[in-house]
Every structure is written in structure tokens, then in C-alpha cells.
């Protein structure tokens, strides 16, 4: 974006402290890109920052709760102050899942947490960063909203999670029609990956699936090669 080559993009990743967000941040940093990462876990942000420091001192890690509109608004201000412009790429990766349960047995607070993180968290990032990409980024920028296979089909015991990811698919398709030419937003199903979230659903059999690190090799390449022609697409790694 902004005339930069593929070798040096700034990439904002939410939920950067663990799972696929962390793996993607490390992979992209290793390829020479600048990471702007956010998470609620300061200790994990610190360890990620120290891990990535040797190869680039320009990364920015922020303690942010994406489910809070005010917290995301402050992040947008900080990014503009520290970086002088919006990110080239945004990956809305922050997510959580309910404990396996029938819908009517999921406590209301747990349902709210899934929606507040997965759906509202993504909406908050779009609300505060799209205007910056339009006004300060020259109307360029790629946004990736992490979806799920369960955003395109239903599954028992994870109805809140499915609902949030179906919502991400619909939100993405609608926002795609609102963006100016030169920008793109896509819904990306990462596939099945051995993360804490998968272990909460699948138990020990989660270990049969690919690691976040091997996933990130493919995902990083795919994300870096997205163009405005992909706007509105539902893609899978």
C-alpha cells in the first residue's frame, strides 16, 4: 500500500498474544513486515515483543480490549501518533468461544462475551480504522476478518460461536459494498488449527490438526497477496 513493496507492510493484528494471531505476527515479522499487535494480556505482549525485537525495532504492541469501543478508539489514535498513518493490512483475529454447551444452557454472560469479542470487536476496529485508511491511507488498505468453517455451517454445542462467525460473514459482505475502490475487506476461514480454542471443543483430538506455525506459513502468503479485486470474498486458507 502507499507505494510500498510487498516487502514492508504494516500489519495490525488483534488477538496477537496467542494462537493464530501470535503465529501470524511472528511469521510476518520474520518476513520483514512491521507488526502492530494488540491483546488484553500484557505479559504475553511483552514476551512477543522481546521475541521480535532482534529483527525489527518498529513493532508496536498495545494493551487493548477490542470489545471496548473506547479502547479501540484510543488504539487508533496511538497508531496514528506512533506510526504517522494507518496500517496497510488489518487482521481481525481476536476471538473467543463458548464452553461446549447446548444453546439454552450457555450462560448469558458467556454468550455476550463471544459476541462482544468476535463481532463487536471486529466492528469496533472497522469503525475506527476504515476512516483512517480512506483519509490518511489514500483510500488503500486490506482488511481480513477471521471467520470460520462454522461461519458457513452449523455445529452443535457452539451455537454462540457459530452465530458470531455467520455475523462476520454478513458484516464483511455488507462493508465490502461500502468501501471505496482500492480497498478490500474479506472474510477468511483459517481452517482447523490446533489452538486452545480448538482444544476447548475437541479435547485431546485437537492435537491431530495442524499447528498455528505451519498454518501461518500459508496464511501469511495468502494475506500479503490479497488485492482490491478480492473485496467481499469469503476465502479459506
Total structural domains within the chain: 1
**pLDDT tens profile 21-37:** 999 999 999 999 999 99
State yes or no: is 161 an active-site residue: yes
Active-site residue (options: 129, 150, 161, 166): 161
pTM for the full predicted model: 0.95
Does 45 reside within a domain?
A: yes
Task: Give the 3-state secondary structure of residue 146.
Answer: strand
Does 35 reside within a domain?
A: yes
Does 231 reside within a domain?
A: yes
Distance from C-alpha of 223 to C-alpha of 220, rounded to nearest angstrom: 5
Domain of 117 in residue numbering reads as 10-236
**pLDDT tens profile 39-75:** 999 999 999 999 998 765 699 999 999 999 999 999 9
The answer to whether 59 and 34 have CB atoms below 8 angstroms apart is yes
Does 4 reside within a domain?
A: no
Residue with cell 480504522: 129
Per-chain mean pLDDT for the chain:
94
Task: Give the 3-state secondary structure of residue 148.
Answer: coil
Percentage with pLDDT > 70 across the chain: 95
Of the pLDDT bands very low, low, confident and very high (cuts 50, 70, 90), residue 194 is: confident
CATH number of 120's domain:
3.40.50.720
Does 125 reside within a domain?
A: yes
Helix (H) or strand (E) holding 91, with range, is: strand 89-92
pLDDT of residue 166: 98
Q: What is the mean pLDDT of residues 130-136?
A: 96
Query: How many other β-carbons are positioned within 10 Å of the β-carbon of residue 20?
Result: 26
Does 5 reside within a domain?
A: no
CA angle 21, 25, 28 (to 5 degrees): 135
Does 213 reside within a domain?
A: yes
Task: Give the 3-state secondary structure of residue 11.
Answer: strand
Amino acid at each position: 500500500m502507499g507505494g510500498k513493496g510487498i516487502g514492508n507492510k504494516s500489519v495490525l493484528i488483534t488477538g496477537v498474544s496467542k494462537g493464530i494471531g501470535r503465529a501470524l505476527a511472528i511469521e510476518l515479522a520474520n518476513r520483514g513486515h512491521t507488526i502492530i499487535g494488540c491483546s488484553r494480556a500484557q505479559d504475553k505482549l511483552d514476551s512477543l515483543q522481546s521475541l521480535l525485537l532482534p529483527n525489527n525495532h518498529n513493532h508496536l504492541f498495545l494493551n487493548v480490549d477490542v470489545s471496548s469501543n473506547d479502547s479501540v478508539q484510543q488504539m487508533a489514535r496511538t497508531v496514528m501518533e506512533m506510526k504517522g498513518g494507518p496500517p496497510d493490512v488489518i487482521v481481525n483475529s481476536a476471538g473467543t468461544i463458548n464452553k461446549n454447551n447446548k444453546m439454552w444452557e450457555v450462560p448469558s454472560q458467556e454468550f455476550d462475551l463471544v459476541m462482544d469479542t468476535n463481532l463487536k470487536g471486529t466492528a469496533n476496529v472497522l469503525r475506527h480504522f476504515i476512516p483512517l485508511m480512506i483519509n490518511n491511507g489514500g483510500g488503500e488498505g486490506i482488511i481480513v476478518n477471521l471467520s470460520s468453517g462454522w461461519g458457513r455451517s452449523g455445529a452443535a454445542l457452539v451455537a454462540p460461536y457459530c452465530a458470531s462467525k455467520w455475523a462476520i460473514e454478513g458484516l464483511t459482505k455488507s462493508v465490502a459494498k461500502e468501501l471505496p475502490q482500492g480497498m478490500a475487506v474479506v472474510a477468511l476461514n483459517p481452517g482447523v488449527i490446533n489452538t486452545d480454542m480448538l482444544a476447548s471443543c475437541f479435547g485431546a483430538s485437537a492435537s491431530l490438526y495442524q499447528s498455528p506455525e505451519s498454518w501461518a506459513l500459508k496464511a501469511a502468503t495468502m494475506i500479503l497477496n490479497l488485492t482490491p479485486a478480492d473485496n467481499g470474498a469469503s476465502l479459506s486458507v
